Amino acid sequence: MAKRGFVLLLLLCMAWVARAQELQCDVVVNSEQVQYTDRQLFADMQSSIFEFMNNRRWTDQPYAPDERIKCRMLINLTAMPEIGTFQADVQVVSVRPAYGTAYESTLFSFIDKDWTFQFSTAQPLDFAENSYTSNLSSMLAFYAYMIVGMDNDSFGRLGGAPAFDKARGILNLAASQGANYPGWKAFDSNRNRYWLIDNLQDPQFLPYREGIYNMHRLGLDIMAENPEKGRGTVLTFLENLQKLQRQKPGSAIIRSFFDAKSDELVNMFQTAAPAQKQQAFTILSQVDPTNNTKYETLLKR
């Protein structure tokens, strides 16, 4: 009986591991700019969003607890036009480990300035894939699938396609049924949720998505073992990114890439040979002039 009980416990543990959620998401709600006496509302909001992101299965892929994707959402509430309605700027960030090291590489970083939503502690957050329930749940689910898709793209060539399809479905429902909330349509701005998913599903951006795989699996993941080869792979990706930037200037996903990677790229090439440093600087200063001050440090050491 003891042996049978042990086997049953083992099977239950294995089943739990296979069903573990995909995301390990930290959530911070900053309400300093909102004047409202019941501050518990904001604690409840943070808790509800945390549970929504972390306690839900987003795919049918098996994830072990230590395989969950580390990410965070920094929700900066900027206004409360009326009770229960909020406006916010939100930064969404996800990381992935580099093979054989303790290093975590920022994979996705995006600041979304188009968050307008309603929240009430009396109405729990809910989500149904094929129907629109609320703008807040739609935005959260959209970024959950963006995080999963970007992570899968970095581990398998074009592996994020199913998750990006889910994100597109959410966008289409929200755009048609979301009471004209901003961020879901092309004309709302040139750097919003619409353009993020549009870039990722545009055939012209295939070099970007394939490059994300190459940079991580064939670049960062071998950096500890063969740094010169790893940096060479990253340089090839940057060259392709330079060509894509010329074809599609101002693209949302390329801007997001450099928001995530500029510091990492500087650190990566800081110890490179002079020729690689110069090549990296030339490309980076042209394709990402916003961070040129960072890249100039490559030429000072």
Provide the pLDDT for residue 211.
Answer: 97
Predicted confidence (pLDDT) at residue 147 exceeds the cutoff of 80? yes
Average pLDDT score over residue span 177-187: 90
Cβ neighbors of 152 (< 8 A, separation 6 or more) are 159, 160, 162, 163
144 membership: H or E segment, kind and range: helix 135-155
Q: Is there a contact between 286 and 260 (Cβ–Cβ < 8 Å)?
A: no
**pLDDT tens digits, one per residue of 92-122:** 999 999 998 999 999 999 999 999 999 999 8
Predicted confidence (pLDDT) at residue 186 exceeds the cutoff of 60? yes
Provide the pLDDT for residue 233.
Answer: 97
Q: CA quadruple 131, 136, 137, 138: dihedral positive or negative?
A: positive
Predicted confidence (pLDDT) at residue 9 exceeds the cutoff of 70? no
Name the β-bridge partners of 30.
76
Provide the pLDDT for residue 17.
Answer: 43
Predicted confidence (pLDDT) at residue 6 exceeds the cutoff of 80? no
Calpha distance 223→255 (Å, rounded): 24
Average pLDDT score over residue span 138-163: 98
The mean pLDDT value of the chain amounts to: 92
Provide the pLDDT for residue 107.
Answer: 98
Calpha distance 198→196 (Å, rounded): 6
Q: In whole angstroms, what separates CA 55 from the centre of its chain?
A: 18
Calpha distance 17→7 (Å, rounded): 15
Tokens 């296979």, residue located: 18
Predicted confidence (pLDDT) at residue 279 exceeds the cutoff of 90? yes
Predicted confidence (pLDDT) at residue 134 exceeds the cutoff of 60? yes
**pLDDT tens digits, one per residue of 21-33:** 899 999 999 999 9
